[in-house]
Amino acid sequence: MVKMVALLLLYCAFFAPAPASAAAPDGKAVYSQTCAACHANGVANAPKLADRTAWETRVKAGKDLLVASVLKGKGAMPPKGGNASLSEEDVRAAVDYIVAHTR
């Protein structure tokens, strides 16, 4: 009986499926839940999502600079758009979503 349990544990250790990795953040969801409060309507001069002219120089500066601005805050925008629970990966996903809608 002990040998069977040991074999079963050994089998599980080697052949059990790996734990599922965390899903990638959904940039659209992050935008909708946090960013849209200002960027949908231009609150406090926030550039609107589809305003290509307003985003042009920001996008040309690069995604890393956009991400840094969101993480640290800029102008009237507080760090992480006021949502302290956002991870850097969440912010990057939201920035990717925004950049995709400025082209």
Question: Is 25-100 CATH 3.30.360.10?
Answer: no
Residues 6+ apart with CB under 8 A from 85: none
Residue-wise pLDDT tens digits, 9-38: 434 444 444 444 468 899 999 999 999 999
The stretch 37-43 carries a mean pLDDT of 95
Residue-wise pLDDT tens digits, 65-101: 999 999 999 999 999 999 999 999 999 999 999 999 9
Residue of higher predicted confidence among 44 and 18: 44
Residues 6+ apart with CB under 8 A from 101: 49, 50
- Nearest of 103, 28, 98 to residue 63 by alpha carbon: 98
Backbone angles phi, psi at 77, to 5 degrees: -80, 120
Q: In this model, does residue 5 exceed pLDDT 90?
A: no
- Which tokens in the block code for residue 14? 């080697």
Residue boundaries of the structural domains of the chain? 25-100
Q: What pLDDT, on a 0 to 100 scale, did the predictor assign at position 22?
A: 67
Q: What pLDDT, on a 0 to 100 scale, did the predictor assign at position 20?
A: 46
